[in-house]
Amino acid sequence: MSESESAVDAELKSDMETVAEVADNLVINDAAFGQLVASMLASRQLYAMCMYELEWLLQEGEAAFKQVSALSDRQKLMLKEVLINAAAVQAQQPFDENVLFQGMKKIVFPWMEKVVGKHSDHQSRENKRLFEEREKVRVETRIDLGLGVSEAPLARQTPVLLVGETYLLRFLFTRLVENLPDTVKQVVQLVENNLNTHAAEPCLVSVPPAAWKGCARSNNGFQKVYENCVRSALVNPVDLLLVHNLLPAYTDMEFAAITTRANEAQHRFKKWANAAGALLVGGLPLDRPLKANELHQPEYETLRLHNVLRGVMAKPLPDSDDVEILVGPTVAFRVSKVELDTHKGEDSSGLSNCPE
Protein backbone atom coordinates (compact mmCIF):
# COMPACT_ATOMS: atom_id res chain seq x y z
CA MET A 1 0.00 0.00 0.00
CA SER A 2 1.38 3.41 -1.01
CA GLU A 3 1.84 6.31 1.39
CA SER A 4 -1.00 8.24 -0.27
CA GLU A 5 -3.40 5.27 0.14
CA SER A 6 -2.37 4.91 3.77
CA ALA A 7 -3.03 8.58 4.36
CA VAL A 8 -6.48 8.30 2.76
CA ASP A 9 -7.32 5.26 4.95
CA ALA A 10 -6.16 7.07 8.09
CA GLU A 11 -8.25 10.13 7.20
CA LEU A 12 -11.29 7.93 6.49
CA LYS A 13 -10.89 6.15 9.82
CA SER A 14 -10.59 9.48 11.64
CA ASP A 15 -13.68 10.84 9.90
CA MET A 16 -15.70 7.72 10.75
CA GLU A 17 -14.70 7.91 14.40
CA THR A 18 -15.73 11.58 14.52
CA VAL A 19 -19.05 10.89 12.80
CA ALA A 20 -19.76 7.88 15.04
CA GLU A 21 -19.20 9.97 18.16
CA VAL A 22 -21.49 12.73 16.84
CA ALA A 23 -24.16 10.14 15.95
CA ASP A 24 -24.07 8.65 19.45
CA ASN A 25 -24.45 12.08 21.05
CA LEU A 26 -27.32 13.04 18.74
CA VAL A 27 -29.29 9.87 19.39
CA ILE A 28 -28.77 10.12 23.16
CA ASN A 29 -29.19 13.86 23.67
CA ASP A 30 -31.42 15.08 20.82
CA ALA A 31 -35.01 13.85 20.99
CA ALA A 32 -35.64 14.41 17.27
CA PHE A 33 -32.73 12.18 16.24
CA GLY A 34 -33.56 9.64 18.95
CA GLN A 35 -37.16 9.34 17.73
CA LEU A 36 -35.99 9.14 14.15
CA VAL A 37 -33.60 6.26 14.77
CA ALA A 38 -36.17 4.48 16.94
CA SER A 39 -38.71 4.77 14.12
CA MET A 40 -36.19 3.45 11.58
CA LEU A 41 -35.49 0.52 13.87
CA ALA A 42 -39.20 -0.14 14.32
CA SER A 43 -39.74 -0.07 10.55
CA ARG A 44 -37.03 -2.70 10.06
CA GLN A 45 -38.50 -4.82 12.83
CA LEU A 46 -41.94 -4.45 11.26
CA TYR A 47 -40.48 -5.70 7.99
CA ALA A 48 -39.02 -8.73 9.77
CA MET A 49 -42.41 -9.36 11.36
CA CYS A 50 -44.04 -9.19 7.91
CA MET A 51 -41.55 -11.71 6.56
CA TYR A 52 -42.30 -14.05 9.46
CA GLU A 53 -46.02 -13.77 8.75
CA LEU A 54 -45.43 -14.39 5.05
CA GLU A 55 -43.53 -17.59 5.85
CA TRP A 56 -46.37 -18.57 8.19
CA LEU A 57 -49.05 -18.10 5.54
CA LEU A 58 -47.09 -19.96 2.88
CA GLN A 59 -46.26 -22.92 5.16
CA GLU A 60 -49.46 -23.26 7.14
CA GLY A 61 -51.72 -23.40 4.08
CA GLU A 62 -54.70 -21.93 5.94
CA ALA A 63 -58.19 -22.67 4.63
CA ALA A 64 -58.49 -19.25 2.97
CA PHE A 65 -55.42 -19.97 0.86
CA LYS A 66 -56.22 -23.25 -0.86
CA GLN A 67 -54.36 -22.09 -3.96
CA VAL A 68 -51.21 -21.75 -1.89
CA SER A 69 -51.59 -25.27 -0.49
CA ALA A 70 -51.63 -26.64 -4.03
CA LEU A 71 -48.26 -25.08 -4.91
CA SER A 72 -45.00 -26.99 -4.74
CA ASP A 73 -42.21 -25.76 -2.45
CA ARG A 74 -40.43 -24.27 -5.49
CA GLN A 75 -43.58 -22.44 -6.54
CA LYS A 76 -44.13 -21.16 -3.00
CA LEU A 77 -40.61 -19.71 -3.03
CA MET A 78 -41.34 -18.00 -6.36
CA LEU A 79 -44.62 -16.65 -4.98
CA LYS A 80 -42.77 -15.26 -1.98
CA GLU A 81 -40.30 -13.43 -4.25
CA VAL A 82 -43.14 -12.05 -6.38
CA LEU A 83 -44.94 -10.61 -3.35
CA ILE A 84 -41.76 -9.12 -1.87
CA ASN A 85 -40.71 -7.55 -5.19
CA ALA A 86 -44.21 -6.16 -5.77
CA ALA A 87 -44.13 -4.44 -2.38
CA ALA A 88 -40.61 -3.13 -3.02
CA VAL A 89 -41.59 -1.65 -6.38
CA GLN A 90 -44.68 -0.03 -4.93
CA ALA A 91 -42.68 1.41 -2.02
CA GLN A 92 -40.39 3.23 -4.48
CA GLN A 93 -43.30 5.19 -5.89
CA PRO A 94 -44.04 8.73 -4.63
CA PHE A 95 -46.38 8.70 -1.64
CA ASP A 96 -48.33 11.06 0.56
CA GLU A 97 -47.16 10.98 4.18
CA ASN A 98 -50.69 11.71 5.42
CA VAL A 99 -51.99 8.71 3.49
CA LEU A 100 -49.18 6.62 4.99
CA PHE A 101 -50.06 7.77 8.50
CA GLN A 102 -53.76 7.03 8.09
CA GLY A 103 -52.94 3.62 6.61
CA MET A 104 -50.74 2.84 9.59
CA LYS A 105 -53.54 3.72 12.02
CA LYS A 106 -56.42 2.07 10.20
CA ILE A 107 -54.76 -0.95 8.58
CA VAL A 108 -51.26 -1.69 9.85
CA PHE A 109 -51.72 -1.25 13.62
CA PRO A 110 -54.92 -3.37 13.85
CA TRP A 111 -53.23 -6.00 11.67
CA MET A 112 -50.14 -5.94 13.90
CA GLU A 113 -52.24 -6.47 17.02
CA LYS A 114 -53.91 -9.50 15.48
CA VAL A 115 -50.70 -11.01 14.09
CA VAL A 116 -48.68 -10.40 17.26
CA GLY A 117 -51.27 -12.32 19.25
CA LYS A 118 -51.23 -15.17 16.76
CA HIS A 119 -47.44 -15.35 16.68
CA SER A 120 -47.22 -15.21 20.48
CA ASP A 121 -49.71 -18.06 20.87
CA HIS A 122 -47.86 -20.13 18.28
CA GLN A 123 -44.47 -19.50 19.87
CA SER A 124 -45.84 -20.35 23.33
CA ARG A 125 -47.23 -23.65 22.03
CA GLU A 126 -43.99 -24.40 20.20
CA ASN A 127 -41.87 -23.56 23.24
CA LYS A 128 -44.08 -25.78 25.40
CA ARG A 129 -43.79 -28.62 22.89
CA LEU A 130 -39.99 -28.33 22.73
CA PHE A 131 -39.75 -28.14 26.54
CA GLU A 132 -41.89 -31.26 26.95
CA GLU A 133 -39.78 -33.13 24.40
CA ARG A 134 -36.55 -32.15 26.16
CA GLU A 135 -38.02 -33.07 29.56
CA LYS A 136 -39.11 -36.47 28.28
CA VAL A 137 -35.60 -37.19 27.04
CA ARG A 138 -34.03 -35.88 30.27
CA VAL A 139 -36.27 -37.87 32.60
CA GLU A 140 -35.80 -41.07 30.60
CA THR A 141 -32.00 -40.70 30.60
CA ARG A 142 -30.53 -43.11 33.12
CA ILE A 143 -27.70 -42.09 35.44
CA ASP A 144 -24.52 -44.00 36.21
CA LEU A 145 -23.05 -42.75 39.49
CA GLY A 146 -19.96 -44.89 39.10
CA LEU A 147 -20.72 -47.00 42.18
CA GLY A 148 -20.56 -50.29 40.35
CA VAL A 149 -24.12 -51.32 41.26
CA SER A 150 -25.59 -53.98 39.02
CA GLU A 151 -28.60 -51.81 38.17
CA ALA A 152 -26.39 -49.06 36.65
CA PRO A 153 -27.12 -46.92 34.83
CA LEU A 154 -29.94 -46.15 37.22
CA ALA A 155 -33.50 -45.28 36.28
CA ARG A 156 -34.54 -42.08 38.03
CA GLN A 157 -37.76 -43.54 39.41
CA THR A 158 -35.98 -45.96 41.79
CA PRO A 159 -34.03 -44.23 44.59
CA VAL A 160 -30.69 -45.36 45.98
CA LEU A 161 -30.16 -45.79 49.72
CA LEU A 162 -26.62 -46.06 51.08
CA VAL A 163 -26.06 -47.46 54.57
CA GLY A 164 -22.73 -47.37 56.37
CA GLU A 165 -20.52 -45.74 58.95
CA THR A 166 -20.94 -41.96 59.05
CA TYR A 167 -17.50 -40.99 57.83
CA LEU A 168 -17.70 -43.46 54.92
CA LEU A 169 -20.94 -41.90 53.70
CA ARG A 170 -19.36 -38.45 54.01
CA PHE A 171 -16.50 -39.61 51.81
CA LEU A 172 -18.83 -41.28 49.33
CA PHE A 173 -21.12 -38.26 48.89
CA THR A 174 -18.08 -36.05 48.40
CA ARG A 175 -16.77 -38.35 45.67
CA LEU A 176 -20.19 -38.52 44.00
CA VAL A 177 -20.26 -34.74 43.70
CA GLU A 178 -16.67 -34.60 42.46
CA ASN A 179 -17.27 -37.23 39.76
CA LEU A 180 -20.66 -36.40 38.30
CA PRO A 181 -21.48 -38.03 34.94
CA ASP A 182 -22.30 -35.90 31.91
CA THR A 183 -25.96 -36.88 32.19
CA VAL A 184 -26.23 -34.90 35.44
CA LYS A 185 -26.52 -31.16 34.80
CA GLN A 186 -27.95 -30.08 38.17
CA VAL A 187 -27.51 -31.43 41.68
CA VAL A 188 -29.25 -30.45 44.91
CA GLN A 189 -27.70 -31.86 48.07
CA LEU A 190 -28.93 -31.62 51.64
CA VAL A 191 -25.64 -31.56 53.50
CA GLU A 192 -25.02 -32.38 57.14
CA ASN A 193 -22.50 -29.58 57.66
CA ASN A 194 -21.25 -26.38 56.03
CA LEU A 195 -17.98 -27.99 54.95
CA ASN A 196 -19.74 -29.79 52.10
CA THR A 197 -21.02 -26.68 50.30
CA HIS A 198 -19.82 -25.85 46.80
CA ALA A 199 -21.46 -22.45 46.29
CA ALA A 200 -19.10 -21.51 43.44
CA GLU A 201 -20.41 -24.34 41.25
CA PRO A 202 -23.68 -23.33 39.55
CA CYS A 203 -24.63 -26.95 38.82
CA LEU A 204 -24.55 -27.75 42.54
CA VAL A 205 -26.89 -26.29 45.15
CA SER A 206 -26.06 -27.22 48.74
CA VAL A 207 -28.61 -26.72 51.52
CA PRO A 208 -27.29 -26.69 55.14
CA PRO A 209 -29.06 -28.68 57.87
CA ALA A 210 -30.69 -25.73 59.62
CA ALA A 211 -32.77 -25.17 56.47
CA TRP A 212 -33.96 -28.73 55.86
CA LYS A 213 -34.15 -30.36 59.30
CA GLY A 214 -37.60 -31.91 59.74
CA CYS A 215 -38.66 -31.21 56.14
CA ALA A 216 -39.77 -34.84 55.60
CA ARG A 217 -42.37 -34.67 58.35
CA SER A 218 -44.99 -33.69 55.75
CA ASN A 219 -45.55 -34.36 52.07
CA ASN A 220 -44.90 -30.73 51.08
CA GLY A 221 -42.10 -30.01 53.57
CA PHE A 222 -39.24 -30.33 51.10
CA GLN A 223 -41.18 -28.38 48.49
CA LYS A 224 -41.08 -25.40 50.87
CA VAL A 225 -37.33 -25.84 51.26
CA TYR A 226 -37.03 -25.99 47.48
CA GLU A 227 -39.00 -22.80 46.99
CA ASN A 228 -37.14 -20.90 49.73
CA CYS A 229 -33.58 -22.12 49.24
CA VAL A 230 -33.16 -23.92 45.94
CA ARG A 231 -35.31 -22.70 43.06
CA SER A 232 -33.65 -19.30 42.59
CA ALA A 233 -30.17 -20.88 42.54
CA LEU A 234 -30.86 -23.46 39.82
CA VAL A 235 -29.45 -23.18 36.32
CA ASN A 236 -31.05 -26.44 35.08
CA PRO A 237 -33.80 -28.84 36.13
CA VAL A 238 -32.73 -31.05 39.04
CA ASP A 239 -31.21 -34.36 37.89
CA LEU A 240 -29.87 -35.61 41.21
CA LEU A 241 -31.08 -35.10 44.79
CA LEU A 242 -28.57 -36.14 47.47
CA VAL A 243 -29.71 -36.40 51.07
CA HIS A 244 -26.56 -37.02 53.10
CA ASN A 245 -28.43 -38.07 56.24
CA LEU A 246 -32.11 -38.99 56.11
CA LEU A 247 -32.65 -39.06 59.86
CA PRO A 248 -32.63 -35.28 60.59
CA ALA A 249 -35.21 -34.84 57.82
CA TYR A 250 -37.75 -36.96 59.69
CA THR A 251 -37.90 -35.85 63.33
CA ASP A 252 -41.16 -37.60 64.24
CA MET A 253 -41.18 -40.95 66.05
CA GLU A 254 -37.64 -40.58 67.36
CA PHE A 255 -38.30 -43.65 69.48
CA ALA A 256 -38.72 -45.76 66.33
CA ALA A 257 -35.98 -47.77 64.64
CA ILE A 258 -33.70 -45.77 62.37
CA THR A 259 -34.75 -47.94 59.44
CA THR A 260 -38.38 -46.90 59.98
CA ARG A 261 -37.49 -43.21 60.14
CA ALA A 262 -35.21 -43.47 57.11
CA ASN A 263 -37.97 -45.18 55.16
CA GLU A 264 -40.46 -42.42 55.99
CA ALA A 265 -38.02 -39.71 54.92
CA GLN A 266 -36.92 -41.54 51.76
CA HIS A 267 -40.57 -42.11 50.82
CA ARG A 268 -41.38 -38.38 50.92
CA PHE A 269 -38.20 -37.34 49.13
CA LYS A 270 -38.96 -39.96 46.46
CA LYS A 271 -42.34 -38.36 45.71
CA TRP A 272 -40.66 -35.01 45.11
CA ALA A 273 -37.80 -36.51 43.09
CA ASN A 274 -40.15 -38.46 40.83
CA ALA A 275 -42.18 -35.34 40.13
CA ALA A 276 -38.98 -33.41 39.36
CA GLY A 277 -37.47 -36.15 37.18
CA ALA A 278 -34.51 -36.53 39.54
CA LEU A 279 -32.66 -39.54 40.92
CA LEU A 280 -32.74 -39.64 44.72
CA VAL A 281 -29.72 -40.88 46.67
CA GLY A 282 -30.24 -40.98 50.41
CA GLY A 283 -27.83 -41.82 53.19
CA LEU A 284 -28.44 -43.74 56.42
CA PRO A 285 -25.27 -43.19 58.49
CA LEU A 286 -24.39 -45.48 61.38
CA ASP A 287 -22.20 -44.76 64.41
CA ARG A 288 -20.58 -48.16 63.96
CA PRO A 289 -19.32 -50.32 61.09
CA LEU A 290 -21.97 -52.14 59.09
CA LYS A 291 -22.32 -55.75 60.18
CA ALA A 292 -21.92 -58.63 57.76
CA ASN A 293 -25.23 -59.40 55.98
CA GLU A 294 -26.94 -56.69 58.05
CA LEU A 295 -28.94 -55.37 55.12
CA HIS A 296 -30.54 -58.80 54.66
CA GLN A 297 -32.13 -58.64 58.11
CA PRO A 298 -35.96 -58.25 58.42
CA GLU A 299 -35.77 -54.60 59.59
CA TYR A 300 -34.36 -53.64 56.19
CA GLU A 301 -37.01 -55.48 54.18
CA THR A 302 -39.08 -52.39 53.33
CA LEU A 303 -35.96 -50.43 52.38
CA ARG A 304 -34.83 -53.28 50.10
CA LEU A 305 -38.24 -53.34 48.44
CA HIS A 306 -38.40 -49.66 47.53
CA ASN A 307 -34.74 -48.76 46.96
CA VAL A 308 -31.52 -49.85 45.40
CA LEU A 309 -30.11 -50.63 48.86
CA ARG A 310 -26.36 -50.83 49.28
CA GLY A 311 -24.07 -51.12 52.26
CA VAL A 312 -20.86 -49.09 52.37
CA MET A 313 -17.79 -50.59 54.03
CA ALA A 314 -14.06 -49.95 54.23
CA LYS A 315 -11.55 -52.71 53.58
CA PRO A 316 -7.92 -52.00 54.57
CA LEU A 317 -5.40 -53.36 52.11
CA PRO A 318 -2.53 -55.48 53.45
CA ASP A 319 0.94 -53.96 53.17
CA SER A 320 -0.57 -50.66 52.03
CA ASP A 321 -1.76 -47.33 53.42
CA ASP A 322 -4.76 -47.48 51.08
CA VAL A 323 -8.33 -48.53 51.83
CA GLU A 324 -10.92 -49.94 49.44
CA ILE A 325 -14.44 -48.51 49.70
CA LEU A 326 -17.00 -51.17 48.92
CA VAL A 327 -20.53 -50.31 47.82
CA GLY A 328 -22.28 -53.62 48.19
CA PRO A 329 -19.84 -56.26 46.93
CA THR A 330 -18.20 -53.86 44.47
CA VAL A 331 -15.03 -51.86 45.05
CA ALA A 332 -16.11 -48.32 44.16
CA PHE A 333 -13.00 -46.39 45.25
CA ARG A 334 -9.48 -46.87 46.51
CA VAL A 335 -8.30 -44.10 48.81
CA SER A 336 -5.48 -43.45 51.24
CA LYS A 337 -6.30 -43.91 54.91
CA VAL A 338 -5.06 -40.38 55.58
CA GLU A 339 -7.57 -38.90 53.13
CA LEU A 340 -10.37 -41.08 54.43
CA ASP A 341 -9.67 -40.02 58.01
CA THR A 342 -10.28 -36.37 57.07
CA HIS A 343 -13.98 -37.22 56.90
CA LYS A 344 -14.13 -38.23 60.55
CA GLY A 345 -15.32 -35.89 63.28
CA GLU A 346 -16.56 -33.07 61.03
CA ASP A 347 -18.64 -30.32 62.58
CA SER A 348 -22.31 -31.12 62.05
CA SER A 349 -23.57 -27.61 62.80
CA GLY A 350 -24.82 -25.29 60.10
CA LEU A 351 -26.50 -21.94 59.73
CA SER A 352 -28.88 -21.15 56.94
CA ASN A 353 -29.53 -17.94 55.05
CA CYS A 354 -32.78 -19.38 53.72
CA PRO A 355 -36.06 -17.85 54.85
CA GLU A 356 -38.08 -19.85 57.28
- Cβ(263)–Cβ(142) under 8 Å? no
What is the pLDDT of the chain when averaged over all its residues? 87
| Tens digits of residue pLDDT in 114-142 | 999 988 998 899 999 999 999 999 999 99
What average pLDDT does the segment 86-109 reach? 90
Query: Who wins on pLDDT, 317 or 348?
Result: 317
Confidence of residue 349 (pLDDT cuts 50, 70, 90): very low
As a whole number of Å, the CA-based R_g of the chain is 32
pTM of the complete model:
0.72
Report the pLDDT averaged over residues 57-82.
77
Q: Using alpha carbons, list the distances in angstroms from residue 249 to 152, 198, 258, 352.
A: 27, 21, 12, 15
Q: How does residue 351 score in pLDDT terms, banded at 50, 70 and 90?
A: very low
Dihedral of CA atoms 169, 173, 158, 258 in degrees, nearest 10, equals 30
Reported as a single tens digit per residue, the pLDDT across 170-188 is: 999 999 999 899 999 999 9
> Taking the chain, what is the end-to-end CA distance rounded to the nearest angstrom?
72
pLDDT in tens, 259-305: 999 999 999 999 999 999 999 999 999 999 999 899 999 999 999 99
Amino acid residing at 89: V
Beta bridge partners of 311: 163
Arch. (CATH architecture) of 160-341: 3-Layer(aba) Sandwich (3.40)
Q: How far is CA 135 from the centre of its chain?
A: 10
Mean pLDDT of 214-222: 93
- Strand 308-316 vs strand 322-327: parallel, antiparallel, or unpaired? antiparallel
pLDDT in tens, 12-36: 888 888 888 988 888 899 889 889 9
Would you say 352 and 211 are in contact if contact means Cβ atoms under 8 Å apart? yes
Task: Return d(Cα 169, Cα 38) in angstroms, integer.
Answer: 61
What residue spans define the domains of the chain? 3-140, 160-341
Question: Could you read off the pLDDT of 304-328 as tens digits, one per residue?
Answer: 999 999 999 999 999 889 999 999 9
Residues 264 and 274: their CA atoms lie apart, in Å, by 16
Q: Work out the burial of residue 56: count CB atoms within 10 Å of its CB; fewer than 13 is exposed, 13-18 middle, 19 or more buried.
A: middle
pLDDT of residue 1: 59
Q: Which of 78, 61, 83 is nearest to 70 (CA)?
A: 61
More confident residue, 40 or 349: 40
